[in-house]
Structure 1
């Protein structure tokens, strides 16, 4: 029996720790700087999205948050393409092109769904989305769009069954 700790809570942290301290291997023909900078760029863009989380204590909130969200999610495509290109491997580059084409196709459907939400709420601010849902949740009104948006978010986050980036 394999012991993962108390209810497996420590397992993700130990996996991350193991990945950080694995043997360092340098690809011979790769563009070293871009190859190792691309995941950091991707991580930085994801961290930028955390500043969009609305809090009650915020006095001035970013009123174009939805446009910023869509633009940052669209920029993640470039870091994936840079990862494949900078490895100087034909297979990695073809795989990154395949992943980019999938990400773009799901981003188009996400943008269409978000455009519908923006038109119904009438704002780009995420605070207005919270205020709009005081009486009735948007998921209750747009149930079919909510299911499609859930599938698109799974694809955007590269989770199962859309984990082609690995």
Structure 2
């Protein structure tokens, strides 16, 4: 049984990596049509093999090593980043009973929190001032929006009363939470954009002011691994968004269609909106999202306590 679960998880990881490749193709195609151009259409039929050509090109490029870098953290940070983004997939509650467990939300919080260290390690170990400045502001951004993500998720946990992601599909059979808590759904999506360093919050990579950001000194395979970790996180956050707000039984075709739609929204936002200013990004997190998320949390707690008190009162009346 353990062997079968290990093989299932291994197949899942392979599928995630293939999905990352085709997500890059989807992004290039969507951005091409937004900008009134074709996008990739030469490699294979309609450019279908372009992601694999990009992967071969990246991994065959020369791997540079800064002479004054801290060798072990410099090499291990991208690997740790990809490892964290792939381990997160174990919390998805598949119907086949892959690796679902009862404390999936807590494990999700742990993985999201640990992902900050790979960004910090990559920027610090490069021993470059540009990379260090890029990692510092990327870490500040990620930690800030993790607070709003946690509060929004706590509000959803109040509604289901447990730490298992599988509970969300059971409670949303007749009414999706994007209807019950529509503002929280919007806050969650914007926080996911900031958490995954996507436009208009892509301050982890500042080409105009920091050369590239925390990944300035990476090339070839190291850059490709960081790139794969970012896009794997986009797919994972899309899956979590579907589970939380667009409830459907995981394992159904409908779930994957919703996941593709949320991923499409990530790309759509990139092709539409300009980059924020960094001080406005922090203002949005601490002055706008935090009060709204806290108010909703208190509101849901109050509603749940009120309902439980009414149930207890009715039970006492019936006993009398």
* Structure 1 length-normalised TM: 0.92
Q: Partners of 2:157 and 2:131 in 1: how far apart?
A: 37
Give the deviation of 1:105 after TM superposition. 0.7
What are the ranges of 5 or more consecutive residues in structure 2 without an aligned counterpart?
1-37, 206-320
Match among 184, 193, 203 for residue 164 of structure 1: 203
Q: Does 1:153 align with 2:192?
A: yes
Give the deviation of 1:56 after TM superposition. 1.4
Structure 1 4/108 Cα, relative in aligned 2: closer, same or farther at 3 Å? farther
Task: Give the corresponding residue for 2:182.
Answer: 143
Match among 76, 82, 85 for residue 37 of structure 1: 76
Superposition RMSD in Å: 1.8
Match among 140, 146, 151 for residue 112 of structure 1: 151
1:53-132 to 2 correspondences below 5 Å = 53-58=92-97, 61-132=100-171
Give the deviation of 1:13 after TM superposition. 2.7
3-state DSSP of counterpart to 1:107: helix
Aligned length: 166
Give the deviation of 1:87 after TM superposition. 0.7
Q: Partners of 2:151 and 2:50 in 1: how far apart?
A: 38
Q: Partners of 2:64 and 2:49 in 1: how far apart?
A: 27
Q: Partners of 2:99 and 2:91 in 1: how far apart?
A: 12
- Write 1 or 2 for the structure with the bigger share of helix: 2
Q: Could you list the per-position Cα deviations for residues 86-105 of structure 1 after superposition, in whole angstroms to 9, with x for gaps in the alignment?
A: 01112211110010000011
Match among 47, 51, 55 for residue 8 of structure 1: 47
Q: Partners of 2:73 and 2:48 in 1: how far apart?
A: 34
Q: Which moved more, 1:3-12 or 1:87-96?
A: 3-12
Structure 1 8/82 Cα, relative in aligned 2: closer, same or farther at 3 Å? same
Give the deviation of 1:83 after TM superposition. 0.5
3-state DSSP of counterpart to 2:173: coil
3-state DSSP of counterpart to 1:113: helix
1:20-31 to 2 correspondences below 5 Å = 20-31=59-70
Q: Could you list the per-position Cα deviations for residues 66-86 of structure 1 after superposition, in whole angstroms to 9, with x for gaps in the alignment?
A: 111111001111110001110
Task: Give the corresponding residue for 1:46.
Answer: 85
The answer to whether the 8 A contact 2:93-2:99 is kept is: no
What are the ranges of 5 or more consecutive residues in structure 1 without an aligned counterpart?
none
Give the deviation of 1:19 after TM superposition. 1.3
Which one has a bigger Cα radius of gyration?
2
Give the deviation of 1:10 after TM superposition. 2.4
3-state DSSP of counterpart to 2:108: helix
* Structure 2 length-normalised TM: 0.49
